[in-house]
Amino acid sequence: MATVKRIKLGSQGLEVSAQGLGCMGMSAAYGPPKPESDMIALIHHAVNTGVTLLDTSDIYGPHTNEILLGKALKAGGLRQRVELATKFGVSFKDGGFEVREDPAYCSNCLKTSLKIIIQSIIYFLFF
C-alpha cells in the first residue's frame, strides 16, 4: 500500500497529510446523506491509510457532518491521529445563505463545533 506524503503547513511546524479528506458530501450536498456506518468506515479507512487532514463545516447538515466526525474519531484513538479543519460564518436564512461575522455568533460557532466533534483543538478555523 502506498504511503501518503506529509507536508508542513505554515511556520509553526504543523505537519499534515498532503492528501486530505473533504467530508461535506458524507452528510450534505451531492444528494441525500450517505449511510452513517459507511461514512464512519470511510473515515477510518482514510486515517488508517495515512490521511490525517479532515475538512468539515458547521453548515454541512447543519452540524450533522461534525456529529459524524465526532462519532468516527471516538474509535481507537483516531482523534490523536488527525488534524481537523472546519469553517464557520455562514448560516441559512430565508432559503439562502447569510454571512455572519459578529463576534457572538463566531464564538458560539467555535464552541459548538468543539463540543460536537469532541475536540480540545481545531487546527484550522476558516471564516
Q: Compute φ and ψ for 121, nearest 5 degrees.
A: -150, 140
pLDDT band at residue 111 under the 50/70/90 scheme: confident
pLDDT digits (tens, 9 = 90+) for 3-41: 899 999 888 888 999 999 999 999 888 888 899 999 999
Q: Do residues 53 and 16 touch, judged by C-beta distance below 8 A? A: yes
The beta strand positions in the chain, using DSSP E, are: 6-9, 14-17, 20-22, 53-55, 83-87, 90-93, 96-99, 124-126
* The three cell numbers locating residue 119: 475536540
Query: pLDDT at position 118, please?
Result: 66
Active site (catalytic) residues: 60
Domain ranges in the chain are 6-126
Identify the CATH number of the domain defined by range 6-126: 3.20.20.100
pLDDT band at residue 101 under the 50/70/90 scheme: confident
Enter the pTM of the model.
0.83
Question: Partners of 8 in the beta sheet?
Answer: 15
The DSSP symbol for 89 reads S
Nearest CA to 116 out of 82, 76, 54, 72 is that of: 72
The DSSP symbol for 115 reads H
